[in-house]
Structure formats: structure tokens, C-alpha cells
């Protein structure tokens, strides 16, 4: 295997070499190590021996020179500085990339000693840019700034004249471009480092297998996740809200919180580079199916599949369009009874934030894509879709604020539509939360991992479409009085009567606000709103199964309802049928009478008004009273000539 060459980097102060190195060491935290130089000067405040320099006496330094222990050495300001062969060799033996930040004279000394390394020079695009950067630091006096600029100008000129001094010259005009050029320059060293570390981890894992036995793991040794991402050149797409969880300990913790996966069928949503996938495969699960939309992750997932011993299957597609139940049906999985506490199935995912909520809406409660309320009710009673296999638990990641809404109790500021929906159909629980800095790239929000277990029965025994609409409409005006909000659930022209009737029937204070309603309050409201959720046909036989098949105002012996046969009926047809009843006709007649009475009163008030003549008033003939002939009528009771009129005003 190739040896890792040390990197010798040089450049003027303000050129950006320190910034580029810091960025590289952050992205590859275990890849680089600085060589510690020897010096004869005294340590300054805060400097530690062996960390900043090796502080030695002058006699010791001279002995090391005599014995040939230095790769290069020089004298500055009466003190000696040098880079020892042993310091560089120790870093190379550790498997890391040795970095030496040296002055131009030191580079010449290394070249003279024929030291094999990658020589990189980082320079600014111009002296003007360099001067601006140094001034922006605010750490230089006029004298020191002048000296640095003079020294930098000499170095830049020397590099131009000595074209063979450096292997690569990086022009730092734009940091991202310069950083990319730097990584490309050391790509071969990085690849060797990654391969060496992977081999080391595989050897350690193989040794562990010999000690503990092959049954101690269910996944062969693999490259570290961070190296895995570098090998396959994986990039997080911010447009898709992709964030990598790099810490395998957190990935394993998430999988542990998902429950016992022994002999389980597991579906992972959005595996990305495969961190959580690894944690799942480390468990003795029977089968793992991953659903991934982004094609860039497929080769990396194929790598994991190759080592998963026929337990892993990849499905490329959008989870919102994927039939999860169909995947388990194809795998010939055995369905469990809904009463079973621990079905051998699980849904897990570190989801992009923009699909977390709609996915929960789909999987938690719809259980499938339903075209009408009849199919939805049957899917709940028959447990279709993925939940045909039992009360499948789910473990998903959410924004921390969304997670708090999902578990918010009565009176909480986080109480919301999504929270009540979750609590109605499942038991949500925040298992743990982590800051955004644990992800790459770092999101602006913290993240929580939530476990959701479907309930045996929903707390509110109505169809999902009904509860979803009520929660959505009511929480749209969460701070308004209840009477004003409830009116939005009903169509014209009956909304006032029906809203008042509903509140009386449910014994609710009209001045309450929505967040103060508990599940029992919603349970009393929703049955009467069954018909007002959709426009698709609903069979009367299905309505009859509900304790309140019709809204409260309709629960009375009206003759039109007796003539409705057992057929599909939508809201418009029901309203039309209701308007044929004696109750509606009498109500309509009463409304017409009230309308006529209001109109009669308005006419009477108009007749009692003072009748006035209409005149055309000209500023030149204010004393004349000529009837208006221009079509403009001005009703006046008295006319008073003003003292003066604005010029050009034709009417007064």
C-alpha cells in the first residue's frame, strides 16, 4: 500500500492557509496532525511543552544537529528552530497525515534534504487583497503591517521565480474554491488514509469475532461512516432537507429505542448514507427493506447490502408513493392480531423535515390512500396497508418543536392539530432529543426522536377524515371564541343554528378557546359533523352504525328523511332533501317574513325623511334656484353663500 506523504504548506500571513487547514481538520477530524518543532527559546504564557513546541536547551539542540536528527533547522532572532525526523515519523506511523506549516526558507531546506512530501503554497490573488485582509484583522500596527507586506511580496516573487519549489499553488480568492483545490491536491493522501483506517477497523473487528465468537455481530466490518461518505462522494442536498447523523452511537441509540428487532421485518425510510441502516443490521432482524429516493445513495446502500447476508433489500422511490404493506406481503410476512403487544414489524426513519408531518398523517391514520370515507372506515376496521400486520410501532425523527406538539398536553402552548391527531390514533413519546450540531450539514433546529405506537382503539370513535377536518378548522383560529370557530364547520344557510345547537348539545361554553378543549369535548363534537367532511357518496347503512348519524339540528322526525333510500348520498343531495321538509319550509317562511318586515320598516323610514328639492347651484348665480339639468342632484335644506370659493370649483 502507498505511504502517506506529509504535507508541507506555506504562504504569507493573511493568505488563508490556516483557515483552509482548519476547515479540512473539521471535515476530517482524525486525518491530520501537526508536526511539533523544537526550539531553544523560552516558552511564552500558555505554551505547553510537546504541544506548541519541544523546548530544549541550546546545547541539546546543537547535539541533535550534530547527530543529524533534524530534517531542517534555522536560526531566527537568536533562537534555533527545527523539525525533527522522529516527530514526523511518529505521525506517519500513526496513520495520520503529517502537516508542516513552514516559512519559505524552511521549504527550501526540505527540498535541499530531498524530503519526500506534498508541497503546497497558498497565496492571495493580489497584494491589495492581502493588505485588506490584514487590516480587517485589526491586530497589526502600521509597522508590523508594512513588514508583513514586504515579506509577503518577497515570497510571492520568489515562488514565481522558483517554479519547481511547490507541487501546487492554491490561489485563495474565494474560500470554497480554494478549499476544493486544496482537497484535490491531497486527494491521494486522503484516499490512502481512509483505506488504512478501514483496514485497521476491519482487523479490530475480526479480532473481536475471534474473541467473542461470530454470533456477537450481524454485520461484517465496514469502513467508518464518515469515510464511507467520502468514498462514495455523497453530498447532502439542502433542497431535500438532507442531514446526515454522523455519530453511530446516536444511530444505535435510536435503533434501541425502536424496540427489540430480533426476527423482525424492518422498513427504514430515507436511509441516506446508511448510518441507521448499519445500526439496524447490527441487530438480529429477519429482514430490512430500505426506501430511498435519492439515486446518489444507492451505490453506498448496495455496498451495505452486499455485506448484509441477504437480509437487506433496496427500494428506490418516494416513501409517499410506496406501498409499505405490499413490501411485507411480497416478503410473505405473517400477519399479527391487532391485540398483539409486540408485532415483529417496525418502521424507522431519520426523515427530511419537509416530509415528516405528511408521512405521519399518511401512515399513522390513513393507513392507506383512501378515495372516500367508506374505504377509510373499512381500512380502520380491517387494518389494511402496513397495519394489516398488526399495531406496527414507528420510530421517526422530527424537528423538536414538532415533536413537542405531538405530545403536548391540555393547556400547553404547543397543543395543535398534529398533536391531537397523534394522540387520538397513537401513543407518541419523545425518546430523546439532540442538537442540530450532531448532523451534517448542521440544521438550524434541534431534532427529537419520537416513538409512536398505534392504539387499540382511537380515543374519538369517528373516521379520520372527520377528526382531521375538525382539528384543522378549529386550530386555524385557535385564539378565537369557540362559537365563531365552530361556525366554519357548517355550510350556509344553517351555520348559526347548527353551531348554537351543537354547543348546547355538547354543553360547551361558547367563549372557550380551542386549545382548552380536551379529547372528550372533541369526541362529543365530531359525531354530528360526519356528513360535513366531504362531497363523496355515503351509504345510509354506514351512517346508521354511528351513534349520531346526522348533525344535531337534523336529529328530528322529518318526513323527507323517511323517503331517503339506502343509496349513496352526498352533502348537496342531503341539503336538497332536507329543504323539502316541513321543518325547513316553515323555517324558510319565517325567514321570508322577517325579511319582508325589515324591508317594510326601511321603506317607512325613508318616507318619514324630509323631502327636499334638488337644485343646480352655480357660483355666479347663488341666489337663483334653478332645477338641476345636469344629472347631478344635491339634496340640501338650506343654502348659504360662502365668503369665497376656490377658483375653478363648478359645484358647491
**Which domain CATH number covers 282?**
3.40.50.150
d(C-alpha 266, C-alpha 347), whole Å: 6
User: Do 272 and 367 have their domain in common?
Assistant: yes
| 598 within a domain of the structure (yes/no) | no
Residue 588: half-sphere exposure toward Cβ, Cα within 13 Å: 9
User: Do 27 and 105 have their domain in common?
Assistant: yes
Query: Which residue ranges make up the annotated binding site for S-adenosyl-L-methionine?
Result: 243, 245, 270, 292, 318, 350
User: Do 394 and 304 have their domain in common?
Assistant: yes
Q: Angle at which helices 127-137 and 142-161 pack, to 10 degrees?
A: 150
Strand bridging mode 54-55 / 287-292: unpaired
Residue ending a domain, among 430, 454, 478, is: 454
Q: What is the maximal distance between C-alpha atoms in the chain?
A: 127
| 85 within a domain of the structure (yes/no) | no
Residue ending a domain, among 582, 603, 636, is: 582
User: Do 239 and 304 have their domain in common?
Assistant: yes
Residues 323-334, mean pLDDT to the nearest whole number: 89
Chain centroid to CA 452: 19
Residues 35-63, mean pLDDT to the nearest whole number: 87
Grid coordinates given for 490: 357548517
Residue 112 main-chain phi, psi, to 5 deg:
-65, -35
Grid coordinates given for 560: 323527507
At 387 the pLDDT is 81
Residues 60-77, mean pLDDT to the nearest whole number: 86
Residues 292-305, mean pLDDT to the nearest whole number: 85
User: Do 450 and 564 have their domain in common?
Assistant: no
Residues 380-392, mean pLDDT to the nearest whole number: 71
627 or 467, which is more confident = 467
DSSP per-residue letters across 144-202: HHHHHHHHHHHHHHHHHH-TTS-SEEEE-SSHHHHHHHHHHHTHHHHHHHHHHHHHHHH
At 313 the pLDDT is 94
User: Do 253 and 223 have their domain in common?
Assistant: yes
| 303 within a domain of the structure (yes/no) | yes
Please say if the pLDDT value at position 186 is more than 70: yes
Task: Give the CATH number of the domain where residue 116 resides.
Answer: 3.40.50.300
User: Do 342 and 447 have their domain in common?
Assistant: yes
Please say if the pLDDT value at position 375 is more than 70: no
Q: Which residue range forms the structural domain that includes residue 365?
A: 218-454
Please say if the pLDDT value at position 320 is more than 80: no
At 285 the pLDDT is 92
Chain centroid to CA 246: 16
At 575 the pLDDT is 54
| 273 within a domain of the structure (yes/no) | yes
- Over residues 254-288, the pLDDT tens digits come to 999 998 899 999 999 888 888 899 899 989 999 99
d(C-alpha 69, C-alpha 60), whole Å: 11
Q: How many CB atoms lie within 10 A of CB 503?
A: 18
User: Do 177 and 287 have their domain in common?
Assistant: no
- Over residues 191-242, the pLDDT tens digits come to 777 777 666 655 554 454 444 344 334 555 565 666 656 665 666 665 555 6
Domain count, the chain: 4
Residue 396 main-chain phi, psi, to 5 deg:
-130, 160
Please say if the pLDDT value at position 312 is more than 90: yes
Task: Give the CATH number of the domain where residue 513 resides.
Answer: 1.10.8.100
| 286 within a domain of the structure (yes/no) | yes
Query: In terms of pTM, does the model score above 0.75?
Result: no
Query: Residue 426: which of 458, 467, 469 has the closest Cα?
Result: 458
Terminal Cα-to-Cα distance of the chain (whole angstroms): 102
d(C-alpha 93, C-alpha 4), whole Å: 9
Query: Which residue ranges make up the annotated binding site?
Result: 243, 245, 270, 292, 318, 350
At 644 the pLDDT is 38
Split at pLDDT 50, 70, 90, the class of 582 is low
User: Do 142 and 281 have their domain in common?
Assistant: no
User: Do 179 and 273 have their domain in common?
Assistant: no
Do you know the residue count of the chain? 652
| 588 within a domain of the structure (yes/no) | no
Report for 230-244, 569-583, 631-645: range of highest mean pLDDT: 230-244
| 123 within a domain of the structure (yes/no) | yes
501 or 384, which is more confident = 501
Residues 364 and 422 sit within 8 Å (Cβ to Cβ)? yes
User: Do 267 and 185 have their domain in common?
Assistant: no
Q: Report the SS3 class of residue 540.
A: helix
User: Do 320 and 385 have their domain in common?
Assistant: yes
Split at pLDDT 50, 70, 90, the class of 431 is very high
Residue ending a domain, among 402, 432, 454, is: 454
| 248 within a domain of the structure (yes/no) | yes
Amino acid at each position: 500500500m502507498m505511504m502517506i506523504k506529509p504535507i508541507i504548506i506555506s504562504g504569507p500571513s493573511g493568505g488563508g492557509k490556516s483557515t483552509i487547514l482548519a476547515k479540512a481538520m473539521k471535515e476530517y477530524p482524525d486525518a491530520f496532525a501537526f508536526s511539533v518543532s523544537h526550539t531553544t527559546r523560552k516558552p511564552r504564557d500558555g505554551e505547553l511543552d510537546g504541544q506548541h513546541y519541544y523546548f530544549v536547551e541550546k546545547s541539546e539542540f546543537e547535539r541533535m544537529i550534530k547527530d543529524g536528527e533534524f530534517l531542517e533547522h534555522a536560526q531566527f532572532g537568536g533562537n534555533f528552530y527545527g523539525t525533527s525526523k522522529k516527530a514526523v515519523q511518529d505521525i506517519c506511523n500513526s496513520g495520520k497525515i503529517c502537516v508542516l506549516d513552514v516559512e519559505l526558507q524552511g521549504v527550501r531546506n526540505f527540498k535541499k534534504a530531498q524530503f519526500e512530501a506534498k508541497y503546497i503554497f497558498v497565496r492571495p490573488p493580489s497584494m491589495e487583497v492581502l493588505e485588506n485582509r490584514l487590516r480587517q484583522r485589526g491586530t497589526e500596527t502600521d509597522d508590523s503591517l508594512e513588514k508583513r507586506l514586504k515579506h509577503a511580496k518577497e515570497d510571492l516573487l520568489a515562488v514565481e521565480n522558483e517554479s519547481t519549489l511547490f507541487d501546487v499553488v492554491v490561489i485563495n480568492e474565494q474560500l470554497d474554491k480554494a478549499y476544493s483545490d486544496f482537497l484535490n491536491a491531497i486527494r491521494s493522501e486522503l484516499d490512502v488514509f481512509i483505506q488504512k483506517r478501514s483496514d485497521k477497523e476491519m482487523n479490530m473487528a475480526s479480532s473481536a469475532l475471534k474473541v467473542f465468537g461470530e454470533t456477537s455481530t450481524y454485520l461484517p466490518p465496514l469502513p467508518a461512516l464518515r469515510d464511507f461518505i467520502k468514498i462514495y462522494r455523497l453530498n447532502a442536498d439542502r433542497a431535500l432537507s438532507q442531514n446526515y447523523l454522523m455519530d453511530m452511537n446516536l444511530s444505535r441509540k435510536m435503533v434501541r429505542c425502536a424496540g427489540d428487532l430480533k426476527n423482525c421485518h424492518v422498513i427504514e425510510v430515507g436511509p441516506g448514507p446508511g448510518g441507521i441502516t448499519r445500526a439496524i443490521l447490527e441487530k438480529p432482524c429477519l429482514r430490512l427493506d430500505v426506501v430511498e429516493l435519492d439515486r446518489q445513495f444507492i451505490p453506498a446502500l448496495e455496498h451495505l447490502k452486499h455485506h448484509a447476508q441477504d437480509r437487506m433489500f433496496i427500494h428506490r422511490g418516494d416513501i409517499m408513493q410506496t406501498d409499505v404493506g405490499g413490501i411485507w406481503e411480497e416478503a410473505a410476512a405473517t400477519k399479527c392480531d391487532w391485540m398483539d403487544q409486540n408485532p415483529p414489524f417496525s418502521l424507522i426513519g431519520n426523515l427530511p423535515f419537509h416530509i415528516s408531518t405528511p408521512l405521519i398523517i399518511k401512515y399513522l391514520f390513513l393507513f392507506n390512500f383512501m378515495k372516500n370515507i367508506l374505504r377509510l372506515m373499512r381500512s380502520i376496521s380491517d387494518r389494511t396497508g402496513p397495519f394489516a400486520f398488526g399495531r406496527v410501532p414507528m420510530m421517526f425523527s422530527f424537528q423538536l418543536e414538532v415533536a413537542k406538539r405531538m405530545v403536548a398536553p391540555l393547556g400547553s402552548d404547543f397543543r395543535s392539530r398534529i398533536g391531537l391527531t397523534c394522540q387520538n390514533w397513537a401513543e407518541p413519546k419523545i425518546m430523546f432529543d439532540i442538537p442540530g450540531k450532531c448532523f451534517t450539514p448542521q440544521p438550524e433546529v434541534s431534532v427529537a426522536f419520537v416513538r409512536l405506537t398505534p392504539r387499540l382503539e382511537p380515543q374519538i370513535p369517528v373516521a379520520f377524515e372527520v377528526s382531521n377536518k375538525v382539528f384543522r378548522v378549529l386550530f386555524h383560529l385557535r385564539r378565537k371564541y369557540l362559537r365563531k370557530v365552530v361556525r366554519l364547520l357548517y355550510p350556509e344557510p344553517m351555520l348559526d343554528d347548527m353551531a348554537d345547537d351543537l354547543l348546547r348539545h355538547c354543553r360547551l361554553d361558547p367563549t372557550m378557546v380551542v386549545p382548552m378543549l380536551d379529547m372528550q369535548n372533541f369526541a362529543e363534537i365530531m359525531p354530528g359533523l360526519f356528513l360535513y367532511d366531504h362531497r363523496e357518496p355515503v351509504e345510509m347503512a354506514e351512517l346508521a352504525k354511528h351513534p349520531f348519524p346526522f348533525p344535531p339540528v337534523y336529529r328530528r322526525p322529518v318526513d323527507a328523511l323517511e323517503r331517503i333510500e339506502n343509496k349513496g348520498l352526498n352533502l348537496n343531495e342531503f341539503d336538497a332533501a332536507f329543504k323539502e321538509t316541513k321543518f325547513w319550509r316553515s323555517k324558510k317562511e319565517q325567514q321570508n317574513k322577517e325579511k319582508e318586515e325589515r324591508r317594510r320598516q326601511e321603506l317607512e323610514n325613508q318616507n318619514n325623511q324630509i323631502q327636499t328639492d334638488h337644485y343646480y347651484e352655480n357660483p355666479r348665480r347663488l341666489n337663483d334656484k334653478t332645477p338641476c339639468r345636469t344629472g347631478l342632484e344635491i339634496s340640501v335644506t338650506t343654502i348659504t353663500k360662502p365668503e369665497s370659493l376656490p377658483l375653478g370649483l363648478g359645484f358647491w
